[in-house]
Chain A
């Protein structure tokens, strides 16, 4: 494929791709916390549903909190991970307008957290390890949610994670938004994707309260230390799962594969640990948090 002037097109394409790759790599290695927040919220990033479809076989969805409703913002069910029966929970944001509305943009109501608690307790009785996938802006702020005890539902869900007599592996796959995220993330091993964010409040919310100006979100994102790297340094998460070049949205298959490997490793590390030891170590892990600093 040689041109008259001697330039080899194929070679040139390879060269350009590698330049583009290098630029992408540079860009993604230097993302600011606010840019990471954008990447974490990217509509094309794999969602909880993708992880369940790819990593779980025999998936058997389970619905409802047995008291009021089924909350589609929280996916739940049993299935097999690498052949081993597990319980799976995930906050699902949806991928198009219709599914986003159906899943309430990933913002769970009390029913969602009560379903989570029910399934965690069920998993405990039948010795199924629990895998959770977290991607939520936070718990839903609504009149009915408050009337039905949103705060209590979240508190009980955290408690259920902490009390579980089986391994709890939590993965922050996109946005780990505040109480709505920790409700499903008080686990033995907490994994976090490279470009995911995990924060006590959204940068916009923080900016509007502390700076009284929501446009200061990028400054707030910086101050909040919400990146995977920061959380690992603070020992608030256990491991970072690297994302493919250019972020999880560019190569879903590679992302799902990497997360699958990390979960497998986490599970095998906890294999054979008895219930009392698991619970005790989980408590000690959380009680030890807060001793690290970012200077």
Chain B
């Protein structure tokens, strides 16, 4: 027997979902909609009485104060001026609510309910054309990858109740031995293996020696292990690099391993004693205090977020949380950081490439996805950035990072011979098939169809339960090793863990969400919320008790043996037998061509207007610079109680902090500072200086919040276009060398990193590549958080300094961007001088000489100073003539001094600092020999005034005007 129950808000109760949809419909440019109301639908199946159904509705499904319910009497369209759309999950897609609903019904003492599925019903009022209704449904109400519209009137949510049929073994082998090169390529393409001919040949040769053809499972396992996503062929391969810079002659060199010769080289050369484990585990590990280590990892989830923004970002967060959890013996997540790049929110619909979602929808979906997972996990999201550019259309960037803490002794893992392979957490389903290989190719308008399986559905509570229990098992020493089921699923997890020894898995033992999965799907599925443990037989019972005690599934699926082989069985039939040696070291060396020719852009020529107030207001409203409060407040950035400096600061708690400071150990004054540096615009001119600038920015923010360079580690995340195209790869190489130079110069090691390549959207034969984008994430250990400094102006009468020289480095600046120009003079970094300034400033903060400090970045010193002023609710008077300023790092004379260049240049390594008059001498003594200027003071009135080089006012605005310009654009 089945019941259909509908819940809706009582009259007079605010229908938040309905109102939200109505807003989004307006964003679509559809004005005909008068109102939207939302109805929650439950379809219950089982042997229960009507009385019991009523009890379930009253006690569980509805809130007697705010909601009403109706049983088997579904709401139907009752006039021409309204449309009803019901959205349900596709068969096989996990319904996130079902498990809790079934549990709650049992708690009520009601047995016999077989299934509870949810659906959402929208009643849209107004004179809506059917065309508009389709647009609304497809763009806002459902995503065809995971949901469908229930055809009205239709039987009670027919779609949801479709059953999955069982699976009987059907072993598939692929004929490689007899395949020509042409066929090999076809096999790779058809199977979405993303393996090139050389690789396919190598595999063919391996199986020829075995005198047999591979099974589909073997081929998939190799494809996943060798994928760009898992193996990083580009960074580890050979590169034939050619470079041409203006005024220099072409240079050529062969690079053997880009990672080892740049990023990892810094770490080796610096050999910091506090680096515990770098570039080995799922995250980089550094020392925190006598008892603890911390680890940090940032991942990307770009392709999934392009197709299904909520699910993509949601599982992006879920995935990166499992990196620290899978590091050493498992670290407790203590903070998250999230950085996004989108196309501008007002991007015209008619310009959208076929098959792409509108950037505003992507942005809203991504933010909700991060909010949902991060908040439900109880991990504070403390840091981030959001940048915009047209070329991110169809290919947004979603960076998710997590830091974790663990006891010193829990920092390493070792799989032991005879250990049992235990999979814990969520069940395995068809979601996320081919994620690893799919993210190793370009997106096309076909991707939605071909890779629908690659989109995953997250369940944060499943993951929270898993984290809670794993940490308990960890502290009781119940397992020897752990890793996460990320891209590649069990294939990559078991494959990695068994690399040294060998592994045997019985695939039919893996718990499934529903029947019907083939052995191969089970093996490569990327279903979320799963970890793999290596457990000694003697401890298995104790381990099982921990998990069952908190309703987390744990299952023995095999054993790490000493065969040096990966052997998979389905009901005792062998479906895969590969030598670990071949799997992990058989990949033929990749050789790629890379060419970097520095582009020459139009150098904008325009006079400097007398009154720059308008330019400052425009900069404050630039999407990159404007307030991100709408996003930040949706994240719980204070859970766990460790927040010492919050992402928003100021008298009204709405100014932009440079970084966040967190104390991960309750009661301890030792802290972590996290920050990020990202600026793809500089890359339009020279990726080398973009990279150096990103490193500088990330470190600058740590200094600006009162930290020091003593114990800072950085992560690199490259998001790039197709590395098989020499120009894309050339820029990547150039950026990698910039990373090396800057990190080495500042003396900060890289401890981990990740690259996401092939970020291109191919349509017909036109290809949109994202701007090559590098994210540098920094984490600093600070001895005493009481030396933390915030960014907002504190007291009238205080002095305002700028520390660090300003140059005519307007190339790639936001000021140029206002007029659509890029320019050619990109900001450089002089690490020697910068480092001395950074050290002097952290000494000053330690001595309590600094009342406020803000880093000069996007928009330059005028924007930074304005932010300090309005966040502190205090006025400021500044004098351009006092700013240490020159044309370029080399050319110290300056012929054409211009107010606008001084105020809006984005030169690196600069800070605005507020100092108490009484401490002027002490502060200036510390800065002896460095370039700094006393440029003004803080005033009582609510006005922001800047006097130009000629002594006349060039900027004059009230704090209100400035703040409004800064808050307006993303106040959604």
B is bound to A: no
Interface residues of A (CB under 8 A from B): none
Residues of B within 8 A of A (CB): none
